[in-house]
């Protein structure tokens, strides 16, 4: 039975058996060397190297182009392309079993049908040949009656050996008809292993790494060789911004991620009927609701962070001898920078209150006020910030004489008591009762006279809405208030006022605070100046409180008559200073709390109070 042998096997037979290696005239190369056609001239190999005298070379079916896919084993081979005369892969119609394909060029099939493997793996990339099968065993593989050379039209990789020439074609004389030395051909007779060079990309990467190492070792060597070439310095990543002194960087720039510092988070108190709210912290439903309002909470936190930094800055320079106008304007200028004032989108929520002594609230100096802060004064600093109408209402009391310390302590403790007792489903009257109990437990001695600290009964905490400082609900600071309950999602200003006087305030002094009525509809205005002033108010303050100084700052003048007209029509409401009896002293502390679905957050809480 006739079998096929490879060209390499034929060459080995010539060398080992001493047979003349000169082959008969065979395949003749045409003028085109790279991919050129080969003339189909049949050739016979010497009988000594063939398993049978009738073995002959047979032309291989050509492939179409290098981009075409190879047919699978067991399929019919394609017809030769007469135009290109390229070599095609001959296909075997029999099953190969578990034999690995194309592992070595030295594997060949003998007459008896056994596959004889070899360990050599010489490259034939220059001719487009691929190694034959390496058999793991010497099982018999049925073969056709004639031997066929195994070629590969698309070599997978290019390997540089001694026999490759320009464009991968042998530099040997094509007319020699395979007379090149077998050692240079790289078949299995060569004992030296053929090393495969690394791809050019790997070498380039190694070169880049070595160059970088050289630059690290001697960065100035390259610069000394050529003055023109300069090594580019890598830009260092900038860390988070740090607030300046005095503060000038907006809070939104200090927190570029948009995640602002949270306030103090507390669990809700146990209700009077014994129900607890601890389940809210672990409830998945409440977590989802809390996350849904994260944008709202974030606005409050940004405004609260601005408030904390401003009041810290104020405490660093506030001292007796400063005029009240100077104090307010310096505070407000800093607030505008940190909150990054933008009309109704961000800014001050209401004028800075700096009520002194018996005046408990709603006092800020008008233009021309020459009041100066004294050492024995009790000053209530009450100012607010807002982001998108989310208001932070927070206040504290400043004293310089230690004789007021007990008064300050009483009011601060009462405020914290109100914060502890506030929560979802808590009745407002219960919060007021707890505040009064704590407040009245304190006594203060001033100038040799002892006073019981009294809560100011007609001043209250309040709920806060968007662009609405007083949203409807009031938090009393004495017992007997409303039985209305606090609800989930609401925002409250918990504030307490303590006094050494009667504990009741009344309107006094010139009015400085004004605010547009939140619920007012369309009201016809006749005075042109009043119409103009209302437009200014709508554009700059909306329904937030403002003061005369702010109108002066906007360039308005001679507006008192127009402002009075708006107040008479009910479009704008005046809020005059609220004072206890003369000679008394009042103190105030206030925080803003968020009744979130999962917990209570004292958003304006700071290290100071």
pLDDT tens, 493-531?
999 999 999 999 999 999 999 999 999 999 999 999 999
The pLDDT value recorded for residue 486 is 97
Give the number of other Cβ atoms within 10 Å of residue 454's Cβ.
23
Domain's final residue, options 153, 174, 201: 201
CB 380 within 8 A of CB 361: yes
Contact 604/386 with Cβ under 8 angstroms? Answer: no
CB-based contact 50:3 (threshold 8 Å): no
How many separate helices (H) and strands (E) can be counted in the chain? 13, 24
Claim to verify: residue 527 and residue 474 sit in the same structural domain: no
3-state secondary structure of 572: strand
Which pLDDT score, from 0 to 100, does residue 163 have?
Answer: 44
Cα 264 → chain centroid: 25
Residue 208 pLDDT > 50: no
Same domain for 139 and 74? yes
Does the residue 130 lie in any domain?
A: yes
Q: Is 425 annotated as a binding residue?
A: no
Which residues fall within 8 angstroms of residue 219, CB to CB, at 6 or more apart?
231
CB 573 within 8 A of CB 269: no
For position 527, which CATH number holds? 1.10.10.10
pLDDT of residue 24: 44
- The dihedral through the CA atoms of 90, 92, 93, 98 has a sign that is negative
152-196 pLDDT, tens digit each: 444 444 444 444 444 444 444 444 444 444 444 444 444 444 444
* Three-state secondary structure readout of 290-318: HHHCHHHHHHHHHHHHHHHHHHHHHHHHC
Instruction: Please list the active-site residues.
Output: 382, 393, 462, 470, 495, 590
For residues 26 and 57, is the Cβ–Cβ distance under 8 A?
A: yes
pTM: 0.63
Q: Give me the pLDDT at residue 76, please.
A: 45
Q: Known binder of ligand: residue 382?
A: yes
Beta strand 578-579 with 132-134 is: unpaired
Residue 588: CATH number of its domain: 3.90.230.10
The whole domain housing 570 covers 513-575
| The predicted structure's pLDDT at residue 579 | 98
294 annotated ligand-binding residue: no
Question: What is the pLDDT at residue 334?
Answer: 97
Q: Could you give the percent of the chain with pLDDT greater than 70?
A: 61
Residue 355 lies in a domain: yes
Q: Are residues 552 and 474 in the same domain?
A: no
**Within-domain flag for 229:** no
Asked whether residue 62 is assigned to any structural domain, the reply reads: yes
End-to-end CA distance of the chain: 105
Q: Tell me: do 476 and 333 sit in the same domain.
A: yes
The verdict on whether residue 522 carries a ligand-binding annotation is no
Examine the domain organization and report whether 270 and 397 are in the same domain: yes
Task: Tell whether 39 and 159 lie within a shared domain.
Answer: yes
Write down the pLDDT at residue 211.
Answer: 53
d(CA 174, CA 297): 84
Q: Is 470 annotated as a binding residue?
A: yes
Task: List all residues 6 or more positions away from 87 whose beta carbon is below 8 Å from its beta carbon.
Answer: 60, 62, 63, 128, 151, 153
**Residue 383, strand partner residues:** 394
Other CB atoms within 10 Å distance of the CB of residue 248: 11
Overall number of domains in the chain = 3
Bond before 126 cis per omega within 30 degrees: no
> Cα-flanking dihedrals φ and ψ of residue 284, to 5°?
-65, -35
Looking at the fold, whether 183 and 173 belong to one and the same domain comes out as yes
Q: Give the whole-angstrom CA distance, residue 459 versus residue 456.
A: 6
* Same domain? 477 vs 518: no
pLDDT confidence of residue 230: 55
Residue 589 dihedral angles phi and psi, to the nearest 5°: -140, 145
Q: How far apart are CA 494 and CA 475, in angstroms?
A: 7
Residue 245 domain-assigned (yes or no): no
Both 395 and 432 in one domain: the answer is yes
Confidence at 276, pLDDT banded by 50, 70, 90: confident
Q: Is residue 432 part of a domain?
A: yes
pLDDT band (50, 70, 90) for residue 238: low
Cβ burial, residue 372 (10 Å; 0-12/13-18/19+): middle
Last residue of a domain, one of 159, 180, 201: 201
Same domain? For 520 and 443 the reply is no
Check whether 272 has a pLDDT greater than 60: yes
Q: What angle do CA 171, 173, 175 make, to 5 degrees?
A: 145
Higher pLDDT among residues 25 and 366, named by residue: 366
**Rounded Cα gap, residues 40 and 26, in angstroms:** 8
Pairing of strands 390-399, 378-387: antiparallel
The strand pair at 108-109 and 513-516 is best described as: unpaired
76 is in an annotated binding site: no
Q: Please name the residues in contact with 153: beta carbons below 8 A apart, sequence gap of 6 or more.
A: 62, 63, 66, 68, 70, 86, 87, 88, 89, 128
What is the SS3 string spanning 80-109? CCCCCCCCCCCCCCCCCCCCEEEEECCCEE
Predicted confidence at residue 33, as pLDDT, reads: 42
Question: If we measure between CA atoms, which residue out of 103, 148, 108 comes closest to residue 123?
Answer: 103
Whether pLDDT at 590 is above 50: yes
257 lies in some domain: no
The response to whether 99 counts as a known ligand-binding position is no
Q: Does 117 lie in the same domain as 91?
A: yes
Q: Which of 201, 216, 236 is the last residue of a domain?
A: 201
277 with 143, same domain: the answer is: no
Q: Is-contact 333 313, C-beta < 8 A?
A: no
pLDDT at residue 53 tops 90: no
Task: Print the SS3 string covering 443-456.
Answer: EEEECCEEEECEEC
Residue 341 lies in a domain: yes
Q: Give dist(CA 554, CA 603) in Å, integer.
A: 31
CA 257 to mean position of chain CA atoms: 7
Least confident of 67-71, 131-135, 395-399: 131-135
Rounded Cα distance, 100 and 120, in Å: 15
């Amino acid at each position: 039975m006739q079998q096929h042998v490879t060209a390499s096997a034929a060459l080995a037979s010539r060398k080992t058996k001493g047979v003349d290696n000169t082959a008969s005239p065979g395949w003749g190369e045409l003028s085109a060397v790279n991919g050129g056609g080969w003339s189909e001239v049949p050739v016979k190999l010497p009988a000594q190297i063939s398993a049978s005298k009738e073995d002959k070379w047979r032309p291989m079916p050509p492939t179409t182009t290098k981009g075409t896919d190879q047919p699978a084993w067991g399929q019919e081979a394609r017809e030769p392309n007469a135009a290109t005369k390229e070599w095609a892969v001959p296909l075997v119609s029999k099953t190969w079993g578990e034999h690995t394909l194309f592992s070595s060029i030295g594997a060949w099939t003998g007459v008896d049908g056994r596959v004889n493997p070899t360990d050599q793996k010489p490259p034939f990339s220059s001719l487009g040949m691929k190694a034959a099968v390496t058999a793991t065993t010497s099982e018999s593989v049925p073969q056709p009656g004639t031997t066929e050379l195994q070629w590969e039209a698309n070599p997978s990789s290019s390997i540089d050996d001694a026999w490759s020439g320009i464009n991968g074609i042998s530099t040997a004389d094509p007319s020699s008809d395979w007379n090149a030395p077998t050692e240079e051909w790289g078949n299995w007779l060569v004992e030296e292993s053929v090393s495969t060079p690394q791809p050019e990309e790997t070498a380039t990467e190694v070169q880049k790494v070595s160059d970088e190492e050289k630059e690290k070792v001697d960065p100035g060597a390259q610069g000394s060789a050529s003055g023109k070439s300069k090594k580019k310095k890598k830009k260092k990543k900038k860390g988070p911004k740090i607030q300046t002194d005095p503060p000038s960087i907006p809070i939104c720039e200090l927190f570029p991620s948009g995640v602002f510092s949270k306030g103090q988070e507390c669990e809700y108190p146990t209700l009077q009927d014994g129900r607890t709210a601890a389940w809210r912290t672990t409830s998945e439903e409440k977590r989802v609701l809390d996350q849904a309002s994260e944008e709202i909470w974030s606005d409050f936190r940004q405004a609260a962070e601005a408030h904390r930094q401003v009041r810290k800055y104020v405490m660093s320079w506030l001292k007796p001898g400063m005029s009240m106008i100077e104090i307010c304007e310096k505070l407000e200028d800093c607030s505008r920078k940190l909150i990054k004032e933008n009309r109704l989108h961000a800014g001050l929520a209401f004028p800075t209150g700096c009520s002194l002594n018996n005046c408990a609230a709603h006092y800020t100096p008008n233009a021309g006020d020459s009041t100066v802060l004294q050492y024995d004064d009790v000053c209530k600093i009450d100012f607010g910030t807002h982001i998108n109408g989310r208001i932070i209402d927070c206040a504290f009391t400043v004293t310089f004489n230690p004789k007021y310390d007990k008064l300050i302590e009483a009011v601060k403790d009462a405020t914290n008591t109100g914060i502890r007792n506030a929560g979802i489903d808590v009745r407002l009257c219960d919060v007021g009762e707890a505040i009064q109990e704590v407040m009245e437990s304190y006594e203060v001695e001033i100038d040799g006279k002892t006073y019981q600290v009294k809560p100011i009964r007609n001043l209250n905490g309040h709920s806060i809405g968007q662009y609405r400082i007083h949203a409807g609900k009031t938090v009393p600071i004495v017992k007997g208030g409303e039985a209305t309950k606090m609800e989930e999602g609401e925002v409250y200003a918990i504030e307490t006022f303590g006094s050494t006087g009667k504990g009741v305030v009344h309107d006094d002094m010139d009015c400085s605070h004004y605010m547009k009525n939140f619920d007012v509809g369309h009201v016809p205005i006749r005075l042109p100046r009043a119409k103009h002033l209302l437009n200014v108010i709508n554009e700059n303050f909306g329904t937030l409180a403002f003061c005369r100084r702010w109108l002066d700052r906007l360039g308005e003048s001679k507006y008192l008559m127009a402002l009075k007209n708006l107040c008479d029509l009910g479009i704008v409401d005046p809020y005059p200073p609220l004072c206890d009896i003369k000679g008394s002293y009042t103190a105030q502390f206030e925080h803003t709390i968020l009744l979130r679905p999962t917990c209570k957050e004292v958003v304006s809480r700071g290290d100071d109070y």
